[in-house]
């Protein structure tokens, strides 16, 4: 028994030693194996790895152990993990697969994996995988496949090229445009029938020619430079429109396209495609000529239209008259003047009006016959308003390109208003002189008046003067007071302060009415005043007297000697109708005269316009309008000519604080 137990113990120790030796051998194989070996649990977590495996992936053993096999598998190959799932579930005993792993540095490698499941007695099962790096094999196979594919493509291209060359030759021979080839020096090698026919050469003749033998001399330098750049590879092709000469010497315009043909990537020969564009070029040149002519014609028409527009809108009348006296051109201003002149002479057409007859005479006798320039001759004519006007006419010859007189240009300018302005200016100067003289006289009279006033006061206060003489003295004092008042009013119209001062418009109007009291009495006019309590306004007193003096005189002239003539003057507090936030004083001066015609109302405040004929200067309302605007106010006209209640009202608004006052402040 003991012997058997000893024997049995020896056998067990021998087996243990044998197993230990086997485990050492397997460990050595695991560590030294030339291919990667690794184990993983059934969840896919790496348990161990040999040096070949972790070096293959660029990790250390510590970094790789614990990773999931999904972490090192390329995303597009993650579908291969299904084989691992089938292995651990017992569906398969082993599997092999080619897939890509992702190294630590991100590089992808191809690996061949053989994996199986190990079920040790009494322990958890795990997987063992042999991993071989087959990247070089895969790349070699891919390169071999590409080479085979490339050879197939090259063969296909060679076949297609031969077929294409055959078709190309057929197309070139039948082409309707010229095609030729040349070597790299420009010497012609071949030419198709269309080229030969176009240039007039035979096949035998062209072999001794080069590209530039039939080019226009002016085009050779540019063509050679482009050909040089093509041969040197600086440009792939070029196209020019140039001139060729046929064998007969006939010039042609051609569009030439030159392309380099390569053989195994080296320049071999050039192909020149020549299209005869002579007819197209001629058509383009004709089209350009037509376009230029059209542009010139359009420019001339625009110039004529501009000239005509200028002539038609000139303030002077203009007419062009030829040598026979025919009016070639007449602008609207002259036509209107001619019609006015014709209507006064009874010629409805205006063609034989006195004005045109005068212009014809000036054109023929001065400008056309003698080549003289007639300048600023003045004639009278009847205007549309029925009054007499003054025209300033002139005439000058018109020459053609050869210096011959072919017509005359005549002008007629209505200078009536300017003449009236001159007359009004002279009248105004006279009135100003009279005003200054009146002010001087009033000033000189004022001193002796004060002495006479004092003497009369002493006489009235004296006890030696009887009752009857005292009555006479009192009457003299009363009349003398009127004289003093008139003198002061006269001085007040002439003297003016340099800045606006507070004034009462009611008092200003009273002064004006006092000044014209004699005229009011003579006209039997009834003057009604409605003066409300209003604030003072800042204004120039003399200018305000001038405004209301003009309006009162106009009202007196409007009612004339009408025994029922009446003038109403109303002064009230008001607001500016254009700007309700501004307050001031409004003066309404109304008369029951005949009223102002509607066509005259728009021009009533224009300079030199008057409804009084020769009696008026046309400056009173224009000056008044300017004075009111200067004070920041407004003047408005309302007039009616109805037979029931005719009359005219002028509304004058003066703000409490005028623009002049604000500026002065």
For position 2, what pLDDT does the model report? 38
Q: Which residue has the higher pLDDT, 79 or 129?
A: 129
The mean pLDDT value for 219-243 works out to 89
| Nearest alpha-carbon partner for 337 in 322, 353, 325, 323 | 353
Q: Which two tokens stand for residue 586?
A: 């409004």
Strand partners, 276: 254
CB-side neighbour CA atoms (13 Å) of 470: 9
Q: Residue 586 — pLDDT band, cuts 50, 70, 90?
A: very high
pLDDT digits (tens, 9 = 90+) for 2-18: 345 444 555 556 655 55
pLDDT band at 349 (very low <50, low <70, confident <90, very high): very low
Residues 6 or more apart whose CB falls under 8 angstroms from that of 360 comprise 321, 325
Distance CA 435, CA 433 (A): 5
Region of 635 please: left (phi>0), alpha (psi -120 to 50) or beta. beta
Backbone angles phi, psi at 461, to 5 degrees: -90, -10
Q: Give the Cα separation of 31 and 53 in Å (integer).
A: 10
CB-CB contact of 330 with 353 (8 Å)? no
Question: pLDDT (tens digit, 9 = 90+) per residue, 596-655?
Answer: 888 887 888 777 767 666 566 667 788 888 888 888 899 988 988 887 788 899 999 999
Cβ contacts of residue 67 below 8 Å, gap of 6+?
A: 45, 46
H helix or E strand, kind and range, residue 200: none
- Higher local confidence (pLDDT), 136 or 474: 136
CB count in 10 Å sphere of residue 46: 23
Of the ranges 40-54, 261-275, 372-386, 615-629, which is most confident? 40-54
For residue 3, what pLDDT is reported? 43
**How many other CB atoms are there within 10 angstroms of residue 316's CB atom?**
18
**DSSP letter string, 224-256:** HHHHHHHHTTS-SEEEEEEEEE-TTS-EEEEEE
C-alpha to C-alpha distances, 104 to 56, 58, 287, 524, 593, nearest whole angstrom: 10, 5, 75, 126, 116
pLDDT on residue 649: 92
Q: Tell me 365's DSSP state.
A: I
pLDDT over 90, % of the chain: 7
pLDDT in tens, 329-348: 788 877 777 776 655 555 44
């Amino acid at each position: 028994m003991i012997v058997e137990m000893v024997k049995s113990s020896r056998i067990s120790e021998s087996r243990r030693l044998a197993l230990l030796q086997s485990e050492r051998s397997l460990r050595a194989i695991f560590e030294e194996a030339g291919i990667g070996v690794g184990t993983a649990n059934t969840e896919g977590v790496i348990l161990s790895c040999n040096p070949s495996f972790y070096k293959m992936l660029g990790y250390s053993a510590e970094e790789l152990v614990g990773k999931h096999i999904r972490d090192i598998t390329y995303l597009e190959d993650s579908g291969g993990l299904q084989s691992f799932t089938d292995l651990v579930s017992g569906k398969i005993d082993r599997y092999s697969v080619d897939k890509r792993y992702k190294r630590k540095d991100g590089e992808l490698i191809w690996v061949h994996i053989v994996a199986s499941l190990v079920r040790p007695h009494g322990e958890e099962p795990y997987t063992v995988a042999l991993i071989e790096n087959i990247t070089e094999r895969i790349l070699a196979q891919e390169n071999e496949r590409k080479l085979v594919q490339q050879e197939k493509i090259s063969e296909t291209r060679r076949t297609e090229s031969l077929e294409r060359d055959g078709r190309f030759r057929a197309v070139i021979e039948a082409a309707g445009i010229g095609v030729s080839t040349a070597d790299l020096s420009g010497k012609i090698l071949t030419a198709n029938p269309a080229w030969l026919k176009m240039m007039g050469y035979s096949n035998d003749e062209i072999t001794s020619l080069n590209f530039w033998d039939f080019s226009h001399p002016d085009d050779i330098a540019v063509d050679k430079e482009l050909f040089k750049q093509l041969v040197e590879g600086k440009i792939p092709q070029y196209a020019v429109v140039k001139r060729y000469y046929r064998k007969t010497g006939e010039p042609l315009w051609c569009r030439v396209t030159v392309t380099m043909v390569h053989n195994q990537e080296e320049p071999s020969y050039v192909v020149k495609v020549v299209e005869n564009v002579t007819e197209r070029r001629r058509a383009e040149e004709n089209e350009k000529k037509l376009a230029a002519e059209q542009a010139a014609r359009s420019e001339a028409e625009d110039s004529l239209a501009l000239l005509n527009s200028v002539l038609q809108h000139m303030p002077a009348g203009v007419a062009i008259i030829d040598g026979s006296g025919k009016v070639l051109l007449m602008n609207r201003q002259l036509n209107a003047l001619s019609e006015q002149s014709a209507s006064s002479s009874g010629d409805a057409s205006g063609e034989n009006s006195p004005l045109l007859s005068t212009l014809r005479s000036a054109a023929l006798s001065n400008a056309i016959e003698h080549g003289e320039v007639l300048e600023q001759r003045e004639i009278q004519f009847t205007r549309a308003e029925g009054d007499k006007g003054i025209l300033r006419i002139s005439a000058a010859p018109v020459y053609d390109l050869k210096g011959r007189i072919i017509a005359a240009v005549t002008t007629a300018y209505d200078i009536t208003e300017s003449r009236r302005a001159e007359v009004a200016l002279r009248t105004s100067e006279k009135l100003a002189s009279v005003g200054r003289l009146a002010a001087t006289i009033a000033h000189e009279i004022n001193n002796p008046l004060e002495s006479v006033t004092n003497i009369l006061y002493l006489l009235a206060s004296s006890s030696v003067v009887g009752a009857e003489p005292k009555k006479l003295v009192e009457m003299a004092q009363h009349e003398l007071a009127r004289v003093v008042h008139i003198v002061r009013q006269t001085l007040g119209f002439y003297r003016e302060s340099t800045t606006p001062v507070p004034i009462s418009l009611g008092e200003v109007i009273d002064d004006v009415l006092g000044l014209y009291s004699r005229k009011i009495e003579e006209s039997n006019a009834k003057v009604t005043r409605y003066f409300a309590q209003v604030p003072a306004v800042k204004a120039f007193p003399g200018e305000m007297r001038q405004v209301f003096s003009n309006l009162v005189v106009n009202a007196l002239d409007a009612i004339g000697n009408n025994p029922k003539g009446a003038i109403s003057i109303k002064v009230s507090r008001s607001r500016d109708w254009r700007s309700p936030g501004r307050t001031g004083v409004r003066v309404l001066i109304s008369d029951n005269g005949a009223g102002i015609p509607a066509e005259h109302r728009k021009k009533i405040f224009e300079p030199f316009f008057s409804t009084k004929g020769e009696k008026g200067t046309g400056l009173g309302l224009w000056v008044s309008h300017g004075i009111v605007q200067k004070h920041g106010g407004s003047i408005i006209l309302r007039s009616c000519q109805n037979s029931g209640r005719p009359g005219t009202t002028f509304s004058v608004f003066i703000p409490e604080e005028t623009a002049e006052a604000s500026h002065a402040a």
